Amino acid sequence: MLPSTTRSLVTTLYDDARMVVELADLPLPAPGPDEVVVQVEAAPINPSDLGLMFGPALTAQASYEEGRVSAPVPPAAMKALANRIGQQLGIGNEGAGLVVAAGSGAQALVGRRVAAFAGAMYSQYRVIPAAGCMVLPEGVSAREGAAAFVNPLTALGFIETMRADGMSAMVHTAAASNLGQMLVKLCRADGIPLVNIVRSPDQVALLRSIGARHVLDSTSPAFPDELAQALSETGARVVFDAIGGGPLLGTILTTMEKVANADGAYSRYGSTQAKRGYVYGALDMAPITLPRTLGFVWDVSGWLLAPMMERLGPEARARMHGRVATELTTTFACHYKGELSLADALSREAVEDYTRRATGSKFLILPSAPL
Amino acid sequence: MLPSTTRSLVTTLYDDARMVVELADLPLPAPGPDEVVVQVEAAPINPSDLGLMFGPALTAQASYEEGRVSAPVPPAAMKALANRIGQQLGIGNEGAGLVVAAGSGAQALVGRRVAAFAGAMYSQYRVIPAAGCMVLPEGVSAREGAAAFVNPLTALGFIETMRADGMSAMVHTAAASNLGQMLVKLCRADGIPLVNIVRSPDQVALLRSIGARHVLDSTSPAFPDELAQALSETGARVVFDAIGGGPLLGTILTTMEKVANADGAYSRYGSTQAKRGYVYGALDMAPITLPRTLGFVWDVSGWLLAPMMERLGPEARARMHGRVATELTTTFACHYKGELSLADALSREAVEDYTRRATGSKFLILPSAPL
């Protein structure tokens, strides 16, 4: 017998500029004919989850009580959030667990372990459409399948996007992330030259240890020359950028332009080679700045998984999902700093750790673990 | 009989960081079988011509002698110009004149008045491919046909680009320019809602006088609200930006995002409406800055006439050229502040006037006028 409510983590922005993240018991409806009830066993905390969970709230000034964290939102940030004031929102884009009940049309899934990208996965139970479930291969645990969507599809999406642009090599920033490590493995397997840009010597060592060939530390004085060299060697003219703000993206694109011009005749309009930047993250919320030494043949775009998957079409999507399923425990294996129950996730220690958004501080929430 | 040399304006950057613009007598070769010799009667000074002619040189510090201007280039700007050091380059993208001689395959053009987009048009005579000539309609003068390419095709190219993006309304900055006035007339004729952004009340009045409906002064305190209102009314989600540097482009795109979000439910990724910015000019050489309140569904690109014409394909190109020819003296009529002989163009008074790049200070060079 299923319970009538489910314990969940929810986030609410109040009009007095408090962001409250708390435990709530939400009604658990019966599944419709094509729906399943998943007992969620594991769900990762991705940067995109933090964007909803705490948004721009100042977690360093948060106050903590049993099952509840409250953090102030700076007045300047309230305007952009007007549409969410007063709404209690579930958190957790993706996760995995056991199908414990199903509607009449989805009985075959009962007892199977599935992954889903359904939102509000930081819940003991979630009712979701059967069509949105990825059945995990035999022997793959919920922990291993928890992050089967966001990072794997983003990494594969970069490759599909690069190919759709007619390019054959790429640059990636903040490349020591879990996503970045996947991309190193994928590009190696597919023979795609990849220029990894990281922010410390430790991260250089980490990526080299998993077989990355071009790894540049943007804090090194040699970075500008090394970047030009790597762009010249690989021919990479597309960059996937997790950072967005600050000078790095502009530096990469203008270096592409410089390399493209190096052997050409003078043109007042710059190189005719296409140069593309995709901003897929917001590790730095400062404005993106693009120097005018870019020439005129360049494109910079926001990159977001869901619309990109739409644009790539059903065939590419099926290919991507299939590859994720077969390589979940190898290429797409994810490393966590720790595991948290729903209640643990509201402790000061945990919040301060996972909101740092630093490489190597990724956590897994276990929503069905005892509170 | 043709002369063996032709008087021309040329520009040379020397490695001691002097930009020298001067008169030179260049050899005039005999035309090949498919070439014509044009006696150039009129050629406009477009902003793109100034980019080659003086580039980043400090014309306020120029020294003048007979038939020669020399202006210093700031050291920081020299690096980007390394490829042109020591090269004597012809100036003048476009112009019009009389065909005075032709090769065996192009005799039919002798005696016709043509416009061409051939470069180095600030010359008494130019040898160019017959295929690159647009024969001017009967009764159209060289003065009227001198600017038949850059501005008309750019204005038509904006409309083609907008349509290729699936959009039906647009924003234009620095909209009081000659190009902007053409765009006002074209958009009115084609029923395309156009939001014009200018920088003074005089420019507002000018555009209103030729029938523009949405004209906003970005220096007005009411600008942010007026912009949101105009974007909301027109649905414009694409901007063609002549300025590039500074905050205006980012302001327009973030206002598009704000308007797109106004009625929607909260989404942490922002609006799903496409928002596009095309940077086609560089009136401000400061970096382009894009605030992160843009959401993730946006594209900003360089826009350059020649590659855009290539991309649009032969059918669109033929349609554009045809329209230019028939509307040269109406829609595409161009207004000049004055006319200059080749020698006049090197006077202090003229250089200081046309290098201001200000709306209303556009000049026409008459290369065949007596020196």
| Chain A residue whose CA is closest to B93 | A268
Whether A300 and B297 lie within 8 Å, measured CB to CB: no
Q: Judge contact between A32 and A6, C-beta under 8 A.
A: no
Whether A287 and B292 lie within 8 Å, measured CB to CB: yes
What residues of chain B, 258 to 277, have a C-beta less than 8 Å from chain A?
261, 264-269, 272
Length of chain B (residues): 371
Q: Is the residue at A316 inside a domain?
A: no
* Predicted local distance difference test score (pLDDT) of residue A369: 86
Contacts of B283 in chain A (CB under 8 A): none
- Check whether residue B296 and residue B342 sit in a common domain: no
- Check whether residue B158 and residue B298 sit in a common domain: yes
Whether B81 and A265 lie within 8 Å, measured CB to CB: no
Q: Does A56 touch chain B (CB under 8 A)?
A: no
- Check whether residue A138 and residue A155 sit in a common domain: no
| Chain A residue whose CA is closest to B301 | A299
* Predicted local distance difference test score (pLDDT) of residue A359: 67
Whether A282 and B292 lie within 8 Å, measured CB to CB: yes
Interface A-B, measured as beta-carbon pairs within 8 A, has a size of 98
- Check whether residue A160 and residue A297 sit in a common domain: yes
Contacts of B261 in chain A (CB under 8 A): 83
CA distances from A211 to A128, A181, B114, B148, B337 (A): 39, 10, 62, 57, 64
- Check whether residue B187 and residue B61 sit in a common domain: no
Q: Does B286 touch chain A (CB under 8 A)?
A: yes
CA distance B293 to B258: 8
Q: Does A310 touch chain B (CB under 8 A)?
A: no
Cross-sheet strand order for the sheet of B244-246: A244-246, A284-290, B284-290, B244-246
Whether A292 and B286 lie within 8 Å, measured CB to CB: yes
User: What does the block give as tokens for A326?
Assistant: 């077969």
Separation in Å, CA of A15 to nearest CA in chain B? 15
Contacts of B280 in chain A (CB under 8 A): 296
- At B204-221, the pLDDT tens digits run 999 999 999 999 999 999
Residue A360, classed as helix, strand or coil, is coil
Contacts of B296 in chain A (CB under 8 A): 279-280, 302-304
Separation in Å, CA of B288 to nearest CA in chain A? 5
Whether B298 and A293 lie within 8 Å, measured CB to CB: no
Which of B279, B296, B301 is opposite residue A304, by nearest beta carbon? B296
CA distances from A290 to A146, A295, B62, B238 (A): 37, 11, 30, 19
- Residue B268 predicted with pLDDT over 90: no
Q: Is the residue at B328 inside a domain?
A: no
Which of B87, B266, B295 is opposite residue A84, by nearest beta carbon? B266
Contacts of A279 in chain B (CB under 8 A): 296
- Check whether residue B83 and residue B164 sit in a common domain: no
Q: Is the residue at A300 inside a domain?
A: yes
CA B244, distance to chain mean position in Å, is 14
Which of A265, A292, A302 is opposite residue B297, by nearest beta carbon? A302
* Predicted local distance difference test score (pLDDT) of residue A371: 57
Q: How many domains does chain A have?
A: 2
CATH number where B104 lies: 3.90.180.10
- Residue B371 predicted with pLDDT over 70: no
Task: Show Cβ contacts of residue B344 under 8 Å, excluding neighbours closer than 6 positions.
Answer: B350
CA distance B258 to A366: 37
- Residue B295 predicted with pLDDT over 90: no
- Check whether residue A157 and residue A293 sit in a common domain: yes
Separation in Å, CA of B112 to nearest CA in chain A? 32
Contacts of B287 in chain A (CB under 8 A): 250, 289-292
- Residue B359 predicted with pLDDT over 70: no
* Predicted local distance difference test score (pLDDT) of residue B366: 97
Residue A193, classed as helix, strand or coil, is coil
This prediction has a pTM of 0.87
In chain B, the percentage of residues whose pLDDT exceeds 70 is 98
- Check whether residue B299 and residue B163 sit in a common domain: yes
Whether B299 and A304 lie within 8 Å, measured CB to CB: no
- At B123-139, the pLDDT tens digits run 999 999 998 899 999 99
Q: State the sign of the Cα–Cα–Cα–Cα dihedral A220, A224, A228, A231.
A: positive
* Predicted local distance difference test score (pLDDT) of residue A22: 98
Whether B268 and A299 lie within 8 Å, measured CB to CB: no
Q: Is the residue at A104 inside a domain?
A: yes
Q: Does B80 touch chain A (CB under 8 A)?
A: yes
Select the more confidently predicted residue: B266 or B23: B23
Contacts of B303 in chain A (CB under 8 A): 296
Whether A301 and B299 lie within 8 Å, measured CB to CB: yes
Separation in Å, CA of B237 to nearest CA in chain A? 15
Q: Is the residue at A326 inside a domain?
A: no
- Buried/exposed code over B179-193 (b: 16+ C-beta within 10 A; e: otherwise): bbbbbbbbbeeeebb
Please identify every stretch of chain A with a pLDDT value under 50, giving residue numbers as ranges. Answer: none
* Predicted local distance difference test score (pLDDT) of residue B335: 86
- At B84-138, the pLDDT tens digits run 999 999 999 999 999 999 999 999 999 999 999 999 999 999 999 998 899 999 9
Domain boundary, last residue among A295, A310, A325: A310
Whether B296 and A289 lie within 8 Å, measured CB to CB: no
Whether A292 and B296 lie within 8 Å, measured CB to CB: no
Task: Kindly state the average pLDDT of the residues B20-36.
Answer: 97
Q: Is the residue at A321 inside a domain?
A: no
Whether A307 and B272 lie within 8 Å, measured CB to CB: yes
Measured at the CA of A227, the angle between CA A221 and CA A231, to 5 degrees, comes to 170
Which residue range is the domain that position B115 belongs to?
5-147+334-365
Contacts of B84 in chain A (CB under 8 A): 266
Q: Does A81 touch chain B (CB under 8 A)?
A: yes
CA distance A144 to A153: 15
Whether A87 and B288 lie within 8 Å, measured CB to CB: no
- Check whether residue B157 and residue B141 sit in a common domain: no
Q: Does B83 touch chain A (CB under 8 A)?
A: yes
CATH number where A291 lies: 3.40.50.720
Q: Is the residue at B109 inside a domain?
A: yes
User: In 10 A of CB A208, how many CB atoms?
Assistant: 13
List the single best residue of A249, A266, A299, A308 to mutate versus B (max B Cβ within 10 A).
Answer: A266
Average pLDDT, chain A: 93
- Check whether residue A298 and residue A341 sit in a common domain: no
* Predicted local distance difference test score (pLDDT) of residue A223: 98
Q: Does A74 touch chain B (CB under 8 A)?
A: no
- Check whether residue B211 and residue B291 sit in a common domain: yes
- Check whether residue B52 and residue B15 sit in a common domain: yes
Q: Judge contact between B236 and B197, C-beta under 8 A.
A: no
Select the more confidently predicted residue: A267 or B58: B58
CA distance A294 to B114: 35
Q: Is the residue at B38 inside a domain?
A: yes
